């Protein structure tokens, strides 16, 4: 920073201090010195020292400057100069000359510039290399993507059907069971006794029937000879009917007793995977209809349902496509479903649409859908999450590029296209869905465009690049990436 001090003070500071760790050093002067001609020699010496170290080719021009400086009367100027702000020799000389010699500053600067000569022009950097590819043109199908949860086709709670004490648990927690496999055993002794009692009552009722039949037969013979009245014959008929009814009643009691005895062995009602046992040996369980004890639960495993919710706009669009004949309805047709399990990077299972609900949920504005999935290896469990893709259109010809080639420019999606002169152009595009790692481009690209698929960080709009052709192959998605 230079300030005029008047005409009665010195021109150049006698002592200049250089601070370390600076390109040119920091030469500072904080107060004016008395005017003295020897100060010019100090200035010239410092200037020559700096030029000799940093710009030796400027020494001839500096000699002209020093000669001009010495011709002026130093007593007519005064300045305070802070050399700590200099970042180049040109700035150093310019400030010194303008502060000391306003009349000749322009001439001296022109001499310096003329003496410097033309610098050797730096070689232009090479165009950055990028990988380009032509968009893929092929037949494709649109898919709608949803998040769903698996649920069992069949699920039951296993309850005790008779009252008694648990005497045995015959299954392993979490095992796969078949229909009819015994899970629990309840003490059967009282039910065995009841069954035997019912059997005795049945035998007694059958004996009474035999007796009633014989008495009726005798009465029928005697009535022919008028030995007995018809009233006795009627009584014999009634006794036979009562005996036969007793037999039916006894048979029913025996069946119930045997059924209760059978219920002492608790069996699996369906095929599936059993949960843990909730009741241990020695505990009393209730078999009443209102408070039957829950012993465990079983869920079926194969096949398995996958429930999901679609919003109203997707339902309306699919319905419109169905009316136009461009997409089969999932109500009438088992449309294919692709399923990506948690942790997978691409669909690993397939299923079919099985059900669409008859109304939308008024709270969420969504429609419940269901797909059925084969689960032969029993690896999918009810309650598990998955992403699924449901067919959303018929086949059509589309232009596709790798999803990694898509960039964002504020609120719009763009791809970098290399023009015929190898300059880069940002091309706005309208995106479609993903198809096997490639993004469908609805608008904005032509099949012969050269799209930058690798090296986007080196490409600048309007700048030249060095393109290298490659195939538009989808990049391998990272683990857990959205399909």
With beta carbons less than 8 A apart as the criterion, state whether 355 and 337 touch: no
CATH of the domain at 183: 2.40.50.100
Please check whether residue 267 lies inside any domain of the structure: yes
State the average pLDDT over residues 401-430: 91
* Range of lowest pLDDT (89-103, 161-175, 230-244): 89-103
Cα-Cα-Cα-Cα dihedral sign, residues 73, 77, 80, 84: negative
Q: Report the C-alpha gap between 381 and 362 in whole angstroms.
A: 29
When pLDDT is cut at 50, 70 and 90, the band that residue 422 belongs to is very high
Residue 27 scores a pLDDT above 60 = no
Please check whether residue 131 lies inside any domain of the structure: no
Last residue of a domain, one of 83, 98, 116: 116
**Statement: the pTM of the whole predicted model exceeds 0.85:** no
pLDDT of the residue at 12: 39
Q: Report the C-alpha gap between 96 and 82 in whole angstroms.
A: 10
Q: Mark whether 369 and 258 lie in a shared domain.
A: no
Q: Mark whether 283 and 211 lie in a shared domain.
A: yes
pLDDT of the residue at 329: 87
Domain span including residue 360: 304-391
Element of type H or E holding 350: strand 349-356
CA distances from 354 to 318, 360, 428 (A): 16, 17, 40
pLDDT of the residue at 230: 84
Q: Mark whether 64 and 165 lie in a shared domain.
A: no
Q: Mark whether 383 and 338 lie in a shared domain.
A: yes
Which residues on adjacent β-strands are paired with residue 130? Answer: 467
Please check whether residue 146 lies inside any domain of the structure: no
Q: Mark whether 285 and 368 lie in a shared domain.
A: no
State the average pLDDT over residues 326-332: 87
Mapping DSSP onto H, E and C, the string for 81-115 reads EEHHHCCCHHHHHHHHHHHHCCCCHHHHHHHHHHH
With beta carbons less than 8 A apart as the criterion, state whether 475 and 403 touch: yes
With beta carbons less than 8 A apart as the criterion, state whether 440 and 431 touch: yes
Residue 178 scores a pLDDT above 90 = yes
- Who has greater pLDDT, 446 or 29? 446
When pLDDT is cut at 50, 70 and 90, the band that residue 360 belongs to is very high
Please check whether residue 280 lies inside any domain of the structure: yes
With beta carbons less than 8 A apart as the criterion, state whether 148 and 386 touch: yes
State the average pLDDT over residues 184-209: 95
Residue 81 scores a pLDDT above 80 = no
Q: Mark whether 30 and 79 lie in a shared domain.
A: yes
When pLDDT is cut at 50, 70 and 90, the band that residue 394 belongs to is confident
Which residues on adjacent β-strands are paired with residue 320? Answer: none
Last residue of a domain, one of 262, 277, 296: 296
Last residue of a domain, one of 391, 408, 442: 391
Please check whether residue 151 lies inside any domain of the structure: no
Q: Mark whether 95 and 21 lie in a shared domain.
A: yes
Please check whether residue 138 lies inside any domain of the structure: no
Q: Mark whether 337 and 424 lie in a shared domain.
A: no
Could you read off the pLDDT of 298-309 as tens digits, one per residue? Answer: 999 999 999 999
Residue 321 scores a pLDDT above 70 = yes
CATH of the domain at 344: 2.40.30.170
Entry field: residues in the chain: 483
CATH of the domain at 412: 2.40.420.20
pLDDT of the residue at 399: 92
Q: Mark whether 190 and 260 lie in a shared domain.
A: yes
Please check whether residue 403 lies inside any domain of the structure: yes
What total number of domains does the chain contain?
A: 4
Q: Mark whether 278 and 343 lie in a shared domain.
A: no
Residue 18 scores a pLDDT above 60 = no
Q: Mark whether 252 and 337 lie in a shared domain.
A: no
Measured torsion, CA atoms of residues 222, 226, 229, 235, in degrees rounded to the nearest 10? 20
Residue 217, CB half-sphere, CA atoms under 13 Å: how many?
Answer: 6
Q: Mark whether 351 and 414 lie in a shared domain.
A: no
pLDDT of the residue at 223: 80
CA distances from 343 to 11, 304, 328, 346, 478 (A): 80, 19, 31, 9, 10
Cβ-based neighbours of 2, under 8 Å, separated by 6 or more: 79, 80, 81, 95, 98, 99
Burial class (CB in 10 A: 0-12, 13-18, 19+), 296: buried
Please check whether residue 21 lies inside any domain of the structure: yes
Q: Report the C-alpha gap between 130 and 4 in whole angstroms.
A: 58
């Amino acid at each position: 920073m230079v300030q005029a001090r008047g005409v009665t003070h010195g021109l150049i500071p006698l002592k200049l201090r250089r601070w370390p760790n600076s390109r040119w050093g920091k030469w500072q002067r904080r107060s004016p010195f008395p005017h003295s001609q020897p100060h010019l020699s100090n200035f010239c010496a410092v200037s020559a020292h700096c030029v000799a170290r940093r710009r030796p080719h400027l020494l001839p021009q500096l000699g002209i400057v020093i000669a001009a400086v010495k011709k002026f009367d130093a007593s007519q100027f005064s300045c305070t100069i802070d050399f700590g702000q200099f970042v180049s020799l040109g700035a150093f000389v310019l400030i010194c000359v303008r502060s000391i010699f306003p009349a000749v500053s322009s001439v001296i600067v022109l001499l310096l510039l003329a003496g410097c000569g033309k610098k050797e022009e730096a070689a232009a950097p090479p165009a950055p290399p990028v990988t380009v590819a032509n968009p893929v043109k092929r037949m494709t199908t649109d898919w709608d993507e949803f998040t769903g949860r698996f649920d069992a086709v069949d699920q039951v709670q296993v309850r005790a059907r008779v009252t008694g004490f648990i005497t045995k648990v015959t299954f392993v927690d979490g095992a796969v069971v078949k229909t009819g496999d015994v899970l629990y055993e309840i003490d059967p002794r009282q039910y065995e006794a009841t069954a035997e009692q019912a059997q005795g009552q049945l035998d007694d009722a059958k004996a009474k029937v035999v007796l009633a039949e014989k008495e009726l037969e005798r009465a029928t013979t005697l009535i022919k000879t008028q030995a007995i009245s018809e009233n006795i014959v009627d009584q014999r008929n009634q006794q036979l009917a009562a005996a036969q009814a007793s037999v039916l009643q006894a048979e029913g009691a025996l069946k119930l007793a045997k059924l209760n005895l059978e219920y002492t062995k608790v069996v699996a009602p369906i095929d599936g995977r059993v949960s843990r046992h909730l009741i241990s040996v020695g505990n009393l369980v209730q078999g009443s209809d209102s408070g039957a004890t829950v012993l465990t639960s079983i869920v079926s495993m194969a096949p398995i349902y996958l429930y999901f919710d679609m919003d109203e706009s997707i339902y309306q669009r699919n319905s419109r496509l169905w009316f136009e004949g461009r997409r089969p309805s999932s109500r009438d047709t088992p449309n294919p479903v692709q399923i990506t399990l948690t942790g997978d990077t691409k669909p690993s299972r397939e299923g079919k649409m099985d059900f669409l609900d008859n109304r939308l949920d008024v709270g969420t504005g969504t429609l419940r859908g269901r797909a059925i999935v084969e689960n032969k290896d029993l690896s999918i469990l009810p309650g598990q999450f998955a992403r699924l893709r449901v067919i959303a259109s018929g086949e059509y010809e589309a232009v596709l590029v790798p999803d990694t080639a898509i960039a964002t420019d504020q609120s719009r999606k763009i791809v970098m296209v290399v023009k015929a002169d190898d300059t880069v152009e940002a091309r706005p595009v309208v995106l479609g869905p993903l198809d096997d790692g490639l993004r469908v481009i609805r608008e904005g690209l032509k099949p012969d465009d050269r799209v930058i698929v690798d090296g986007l960080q080196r490409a600048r709009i309007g700048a030249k690049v060095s393109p290298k052709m490659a195939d538009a192959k989808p990049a391998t998605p990272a683990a857990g990436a959205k399909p």
